[in-house]
Amino acid sequence: DSGVTQTPKHLITATGQRVTLRCSPRSGDLSVYWYQQSLDQGLQFLIQYYNGEERAKGNILERFSAQQFPDLHSELNLSSLELGDSALYFCASSVTGNTDTQYFGPGTRLTVL
Amino acid sequence: GESVGLHLPTLSVQEGDNSIINCAYSNSASDYFIWYKQESGKGPQFIIDIRSNMDKRQGQRVTVLLNKTVKHLSLQIAATQPGDSAVYFCAENLGLSGAGSYQLTFGKGTKLSVIP
- Residue B54 has a pLDDT of 94
Over the stretch A37-46, which tens digit does the pLDDT of each residue have? 987 778 899 9
CB A76 within 8 A of CB A34: yes
Q: Do A104 and B95 touch (CB under 8 A)?
A: no
Q: Is A30's Cβ below 8 Å from some Cβ in B?
A: no
Over the stretch B26-79, which tens digit does the pLDDT of each residue have? 888 888 899 999 998 899 999 999 999 999 999 999 999 999 999 999 999 999
Residue B22 has a CB neighbour count (10 Å cut-off) of: 14
Kindly give, in sequence order, each residue whose CB lies less than 8 Å from that of residue B37, ignoring residues fewer than 6 positions away. B44, B45, B47, B84, B86, B87, B88, B89
Q: Which of A81, A84, A89, A82 is nearest to A34 (CA)?
A: A89
**How far, in whole angstroms, is CA B75 from its chain's centroid?**
6
Q: What angle do CA A30, A34, A37 make, to 5 degrees?
A: 150
d(CA A111, CA B47): 29
In chain A, which residues have their Cβ closer than 8 Å to the Cβ of B106?
42-43
CB B116 within 8 A of CB B69: no
Average pLDDT over residues A76-94: 96
Q: Do A107 and B43 touch (CB under 8 A)?
A: yes
In chain A, which residues have their Cβ closer than 8 Å to the Cβ of B42?
106-107
3-state DSSP assignment of residue B82: helix
Q: Do A39 and B2 touch (CB under 8 A)?
A: yes
Q: Is A99's Cβ below 8 Å from some Cβ in B?
A: yes
- Residue B95 has a pLDDT of 67
- Residue B6 has a pLDDT of 42
Task: Please name the amino acid found at residue A108.
Answer: T
The CA-to-CA distance between both ends of chain B, in Å, stands at 19
